[in-house]
Amino acid sequence: MPVPTARSVCVFCGSRAGRKPVHADAARSLGRALAEGGFRLVYGAGDVGLMGEVARAALGAGGETFGVVPQHLIDRERGKRDLGRLIVTETMHERKKVMFMNADAVVALPGGPGTLDELFEVLTWRQLGLHAKPAFVLNTGGYWDPLLALLEHIVHEGFAERSFLGFLEPVASVPELMERLRARVG
Ligand code: AMP
């Protein structure tokens, strides 16, 4: 197994594709851009929803891929077998930890409760000073606008420091994200 030298980007995203085709388009575009930019994709190893889209696009463009999946989800999320590297964990917690440890930055695409859980663990670890890795949300079609508004509300109501908002960097498009990734971890 070759030792990867590429910078790694952990992508959290839906195990579903959502209703709007724009989200799958963005996932494919991100997978290709990561591969072409020499970034290794770290993700949850599924072949469903946006997870499958981003991984197939990265593999199709010749990118390095690293998947992490708990044993009990291999069937449900159709664990991809053709990834550059696949780690099977016992628990969801181990999965999140292994994904995060092997990444230089994280990106959340549109997704559901699982995506939020993964993203918020990274943000709360950052708030506690446990790491300084950048976290981005790809705000395709304004999907994350309600979340960004909620975070403003939380700060306004005094339940988080304003500095918390700086831990999550919204980007409007894949080219903008790639520019930020190159500047921050490239
Ligand atoms: P979702 O955004 O709900 O489609 O889930 C996206 C990914 O997050 C999937 O790979 C799920 O297995 C994973 N996931 C779901 N629930 C959790 C959880 N509680 N903790 C960590 N990951 C989760």
DSSP string, 21-87: HHHHHHHHHHHHHHHHTTPEEEE----SHHHHHHHHHHHHTT--EEEEEEGGGTTTTT--SSSSEEE
Average pLDDT on 72-97 reads 94
C-alpha of residue 103 to centroid of ligand 1, in Å:
18
The yes-or-no verdict on residue 2 having pLDDT over 90 is no
Task: Give the predicted TM-score (pTM) of the model.
Answer: 0.95
> What is the rounded average pLDDT for all residues in the chain?
95
State how far the Cα of 71 lies from the Cα of 91, in Å rounded to an integer: 8
Q: What are phi and psi of 53, to 5 degrees?
A: -60, -50
State how far the Cα of 43 lies from the Cα of 45, in Å rounded to an integer: 6
pLDDT of residue 79: 86
The finding on whether 112 has its CB within 6 A of some atom of ligand 1 is: yes
Nearest CA to ligand 1 atom 13: 114
The yes-or-no verdict on residue 4 having pLDDT over 60 is no
Residue 169's SS3 state is strand
| Pocket test residue of 11, 13, 15 for ligand 1, highest count of atoms within 8 A of CB | 15
pLDDT of residue 5: 56
Q: Give the H/E segment covering residue 41.
A: strand 40-43
Question: For the chain, which domains are there?
Answer: 7-185 (3.40.50.450)
Please report, as a single letter, which amino acid is at residue 28: R
pLDDT digits (tens, 9 = 90+) for 141-176: 999 999 999 999 999 999 999 999 999 999 999 999
Nearest CA to ligand 1 atom 5: 114
Confidence grade of residue 62 (pLDDT, cut at 50, 70, 90):
very high
pLDDT of residue 186: 81
Please report, as a single letter, which amino acid is at residue 86: L
Nearest CA to ligand 1 atom 23: 114
Q: Which residues pair with 152 in a beta bridge?
A: none
pLDDT digits (tens, 9 = 90+) for 110-128: 999 999 999 999 999 999 9
State how far the Cα of 154 lies from the Cα of 160, in Å rounded to an integer: 6
